[in-house]
Amino acid sequence: MKKLLSVFLSMAMIIGVVAGCKTSNNANSSSKSEKVNLTFGFWGDTKEADMKMALANAYMDKNPNVTIEFEYTDGAGYLTKMQTWFSSNTAPDVFGVPSDTLFQFLGNDKFEDLSSYINNDSMDKEWNMDTVNSVYSSDGKVYAAPFISKTFAIAYNKNLFDKAELAYPTNDWTEDDMLKAAKAITSGTGIDKVHGLRWGVRPTEFYRNLYGDAVYDTTTDKMNAANNKQFKHAVSLFSDTIKQGLAPNETSAAVSTGGFETGKFGMQLCATWDIATFQSMIGNSFNWDVVMLPMNTEFNTRMLTTYRGNGWSMSSSAKEKQVAWDFIKFMSANKESQKTAQSFGIPELVSYANSDEYKNDFAGGSEYNKQVFIDMLNYKTGFRNLGVYAQINDVIKSQYELLLADKTTVDAMATEVQKQGEALFATK
């Protein structure tokens, strides 16, 4: 479904991106008068798609000899879209890559290696190369340039903390501090109940590697569940808080009555993309902020955030590779472009992400501590939800649901996960 981008863009969005743009480095292999066509693939809901189209239209505005066509889908269908592109040799010149699915394509020669482009243009001075090397690279090949990163933190309701006469959490708080606060805040019953915590649907994602000793090793495909103290502790943390009534059970789906924005949760595990909802729905009804995930004193480590990175890749069959690279840089290393994208994740342009301008830009919404999400990048872990890993994840979730229903124990759960996981890896 390819259409010209200009059909979908409002002039307000275009002007917002273009107004502050510096002239992009002319990396085009062709002259400015030669007509160049690029294809651009990405995913997103309406707002995110509009943002990405605005960037492409702004680039065309700066480079009138370039015409960009696009092909996009929602997030749920994007993996299938990528697989179709590669199987039919129709991959767009530039396309988005989510970090949690990139592992499926490592070794694929349909990706242009971006190493030389990054080195030639000294992009190590613009981006966090730890992210590039750990998230988008394998065997010396760089599969994507970074665009935005998404991490988790804890949102907390200051009004409920005040009511319980509790000090607000700080970045050196511990799990014990969190649990004490949750117990002090939890009150009431039925529709009037106030929960101290809200995990949402995230426990089945987070307990796989909450403290650094993962339930399975994705480099060796070995299970690590049966004797894993950290895995057992993580499972116990989530299940106990639910059984004790400190958090609702949302293992399979979020509650229909709303979340943190209702004012009925003292704390919530939240992601960068939740902030826009908080800002638009909470308004002046209560005061809130965010804090880093707490420290665990037993394992002497902070809880790890699962990580979602969004990058840009180039097709190895792109005819105008320098133009494609210039477009990627425009989106990922241009301040105004990164400013446009910042409401969807942490900008990857280090100079902007570390600037007071970024940290104090709340787009007219409630102020919060943006630095928290940036700092959580130092405590990130990847996760996988495809292939055999998805099958093992389903096993863990099924066992976790039995634990919540008091039909198994933590030790028995870990043993069964080990057994079934080994069987699934053996058939990979």
- Reference 261, options 291, 283, 293, 290; nearest CA is 283
Inter-residue contact 159 to 286 (CB < 8 Å): yes
Read off the pLDDT band of 14 (50, 70, 90): very low
The predicted pLDDT at position 280 comes to 84
The span from the CA of 236 to the CA of 153, in Å, is 20
Is pLDDT above 90 for 250? Answer: yes
Q: In this predicted model, what pLDDT tens digit does every residue of 128-142 receive, in sequence order? A: 898 899 899 999 999
The predicted pLDDT at position 10 comes to 38
Q: In this predicted model, what pLDDT tens digit does every residue of 289-327 receive, in sequence order? A: 999 999 999 999 999 999 999 999 999 999 999 999 999
Q: In this predicted model, what pLDDT tens digit does every residue of 320-374 receive, in sequence order? A: 999 999 999 999 999 999 999 988 899 999 999 999 999 999 877 889 999 999 9
Average pLDDT of the chain, as a whole number: 90
Q: In this predicted model, what pLDDT tens digit does every residue of 64-80 receive, in sequence order? A: 999 999 998 887 889 89
Report in angstroms the alpha-carbon separations of 150 from 273, 312, 342: 8, 15, 10
Read off the pLDDT band of 170 (50, 70, 90): very high
Q: What is the pTM of this model?
A: 0.85
The dihedral sign for the CA sequence 55, 56, 58, 63: positive
Q: How much of the chain, in percent, has pLDDT values that exceed 90? A: 78
For residues 268 and 274, which has the higher predicted lDDT (pLDDT)?
268
For residues 190 and 214, which has the higher predicted lDDT (pLDDT)?
214
Q: What is the mean pLDDT of residues 195-212?
A: 96
Read off the pLDDT band of 226 (50, 70, 90): very high
Is pLDDT above 60 for 53? Answer: yes
The predicted pLDDT at position 71 comes to 92
Is pLDDT above 70 for 54? Answer: yes
The predicted pLDDT at position 158 comes to 98
The predicted pLDDT at position 12 comes to 38
Is pLDDT above 60 for 31? Answer: no
The predicted pLDDT at position 370 comes to 93
For residues 77 and 403, which has the higher predicted lDDT (pLDDT)?
403
Q: What is the mean pLDDT of residues 264-277?
A: 93
In the chain, residues under CATH classification 3.40.190.10 are 3-150+307-353, 171-305+380-426
Q: In this predicted model, what pLDDT tens digit does every residue of 108-161 receive, in sequence order? A: 999 999 999 999 999 999 998 988 998 999 999 999 999 999 999 999 999 999
The predicted pLDDT at position 26 comes to 43
The predicted pLDDT at position 254 comes to 63
The predicted pLDDT at position 2 comes to 37
Q: In this predicted model, what pLDDT tens digit does every residue of 335-350 receive, in sequence order? A: 999 999 988 899 999 9
Q: What angle do CA 92, 79, 51 make, to 5 degrees?
A: 60
Read off the pLDDT band of 263 (50, 70, 90): very high
Class of domain 171-305+380-426: alpha beta
The predicted pLDDT at position 188 comes to 95
Class of domain 3-150+307-353: alpha beta
